Chain A
Amino acid sequence: MSEEFKIEIVNPEKSFLVKEDVSEVVVPAFEGEMGILKDHISIISFLKPGIIKVISKSGDENYYVEDGIVEFKNNNLSILTSSIYNLSDMDKSVQQDLLKKAEEEVGKSDINDQAKYLVDQKIEVLKTLN
């Protein structure tokens, strides 16, 4: 029996990635990293900034996301996100820009705890990339 399932990543502009032969996906869910294998129970969760790791026969891929929703159902994994970058062709300058913006945001005085937590996460992830 094959251990593969389908993944679909969409952003508002287009369908970002569709793959049928994925064996494992690791997503940065809100309450910690979550690995998804075939026949996982149906789940809905949302993402915090981090790295999505897609493991398949044709090679591993890493994506950086800032937010999004994950839905897994009937061996279909859908990820809805408004900001996603493929790490292999993500420019250093883009990373720096995002980092700078995040650092500006964290310095604001009117930021609430949850937003601060998310931005802190973002900064941490971006720093490890560099």
Chain B
Amino acid sequence: MASLDDLKKRIASVKSTQKITKAMKMVAAAKLRKAQESAEKGRPYSEKMNNVILNLSSGISDKENAPKLLAGTGQDKVHLCVVMTSDRGLCGGFNSNIIKKAKSYFSKILDENKELKIITVGSKGNDQLKRIYGDKIIENISFKESKNANYFDADKVGKIIIEKFEAGEFDVCTIFYNKFKNVITQIPQTQQIIPLNDEGSENSSDESYEFEPDEDEILSNLLPKNISTQIFKAMLENSASEQGSRMSAMDNATRNAGEMVDKLTIEYNRSRQAAITKELIEIISGAESL
């Protein structure tokens, strides 16, 4: 059995760990509220953007000559995957869930003998992916300096993607991120942004719009913006998910530390009592022998 001193030290160390996890949980809770708020506030923009694009694309009569960002290159050979993770650890399964989802998608693409290119956003994803897919990663973007997800950063990522698309470096672009459902549940999402998937387009009205200038010009102006908007939406969802995931992970850690402290304290008390009993027996048997 460990000595009393050792036990005392361990209890102290577990207690200080508990203090840290508790503080992290509270910080995450505060940040979560903010992140959740901005995720909710950001929704109208991406929804409206989507609506406008749907209305526009339903108005396009000549599908053949539609902008490539909307219709695709007509090929399906090179896939670009944008994996969005956090820059910091200690947030439970948050990063691993995205990576797991991404990896299964990667192996599917490679099985079909297609070319794979990866952009990682956030350093944690890069750390986990570079061991297996190191040669596939073409870019690693990290926003450690910016505190909150902001549109400026998203725009930067969007511009990189569009640049590569225009240079003909890939045909299909997919982004991976966590969608925030609630504090305990975050759902890893796969979303194809190039070419644009027009799911749910049946709700677009057939009302005719007047366009100024013409549809093509508006679309070619709008689509790059939409990429940035989708990235931004993913970033907002991601940051809310990260904080939520961290909060529940730290809550668990705090509880576990508490249990451990209880167990160690019992052990400590028992061994202290044993030492006292032992000493008493020694004294009594010493007195008896006289």
**Interface residue ranges, A against B (CB under 8 Å):** 8, 10-15, 29-31, 34, 41-46, 69, 71, 73, 78, 80, 82
Question: Would you call A12 and B210 a contact (CB within 8 A)?
Answer: no
Q: Which residues of B contact A43 (CB under 8 A)?
A: 209-212
* A11 / chain B contacts, CB cutoff of 8 Å: 45, 151
A69 touches B213 (CB 8 A): no
Q: Are B42 and A69 in contact (CB under 8 A)?
A: no
**In the complex, A78 Cα to B46 Cα: how many Å?**
13
Cα distance, A13 to B48, chains bound together (Å) = 13
Tell me the B residues contacting A by CB distance below 8 Å: 38, 41-42, 44-46, 48-49, 51-52, 55-56, 150-151, 154-155, 207-213, 218, 221-222, 225, 229, 232
How close is B249's CB to chain A, nearest CB, in angstroms? 28
Q: How far is the CA of A82 from the CA of B49 in the complex (A)?
A: 12
With A31-B212, A69-B222, A82-B151 known as contacts, the answer to whether A44 contacts B45 (CB < 8 A) is no
Contact of B218 among A12, A42, A45 (CB under 8 A): A45
Could you say which residues of chain B place their CB within 8 Å of the CB of A10? Answer: 44-45, 48
Chain A to chain B: the 10 pairs with minimum beta-carbon distance, closest first: A14-B41, A12-B151, A45-B212, A43-B210, A42-B209, A10-B45, A12-B45, A10-B44, A44-B209, A41-B210
**Min CB–CB distance A111 → chain B (angstroms):** 15
**Which of B45, B55, B221, B229 has the most A CB atoms < 10 Å from its CB?**
B45
Residues of B with C-beta under 8 A to A12: 42, 45-46, 151, 154, 229, 232
A29 x B45 contact (CB < 8 A): no
The CA of A14 and the CA of B150, in the complex, are separated in Å by 11
Q: A69-B222, A82-B155 are in contact. Are A44 and B41 (CB under 8 A)?
A: no
Q: How far is the CA of A45 from the CA of B208 in the complex (A)?
A: 14
**Among A13, A15, A41, A80, which residue has its beta carbon within 8 angstroms of that of B52?**
A80
The chain A residue sitting closest to B221, CB to CB, is A46
Tally of contacts, chain A with chain B, CB under 8 A: 73
| 19 more A-B residue pairs beyond the given contacts A12-B42, A12-B46, A71-B55, with a C-beta to C-beta distance below 8 A | A11-B45, A11-B151, A12-B154, A30-B212, A30-B213, A34-B212, A42-B210, A43-B210, A44-B55, A44-B211, A44-B218, A45-B218, A46-B222, A69-B52, A69-B218, A71-B48, A71-B52, A73-B209, A80-B49
Which listed residue (B41, B154, B155, B209) contacts A15, Cβ 8 A?
B41
Beyond A71-B52, A80-B49, is A15–B44 a contact (Cβ under 8 Å)? yes
Contact of B38 among A13, A30, A44, A80 (CB under 8 A): A13
Smallest CB–CB gap between A24 and chain B, Å?
18
Q: List 25 A-B contacts (CB under 8 A).
A: A8-B44, A10-B48, A12-B45, A12-B46, A12-B151, A13-B38, A13-B41, A13-B42, A14-B38, A15-B41, A30-B212, A30-B213, A34-B212, A41-B210, A42-B209, A43-B210, A43-B211, A43-B212, A44-B218, A45-B218, A71-B52, A78-B48, A80-B49, A82-B151, A82-B225
Q: How far is the CA of A103 from the CA of B228 in the complex (A)?
A: 25
User: Are B52 and A44 in contact, with the CB atoms below 8 A?
Assistant: yes
Task: Tell me the bound Cα distance from A30 to B209 in angstroms.
Answer: 16
Contacts A12-B229, A13-B42, A14-B42; is A80 near B48 (CB within 8 Å)? yes
Least CB distance, A17 to chain B, in whole angstroms: 12
Expressed in whole angstroms, the Cα–Cα distance for A80 and B56 within the complex equals: 15
Contacts of B44 in A (CB 8 A): 8, 10, 15
| A69 to B229 alpha-carbon distance, docked (Å) | 13
Contact of B207 among A14, A15, A29, A42 (CB under 8 A): A42
**In the complex, which residues of chain B have a beta carbon less than 8 angstroms from the beta carbon of A34?**
212
Query: Residues of B contacting A41 with CB < 8 Å?
Result: 210
Q: In whole angstroms, what is the CA distance A69 to B266 when docked?
A: 67
- What residue of chain A has the Cβ atom nearest to residue B211's Cβ? A44
Whether B52 pairs with A31 at a CB distance below 8 angstroms is no
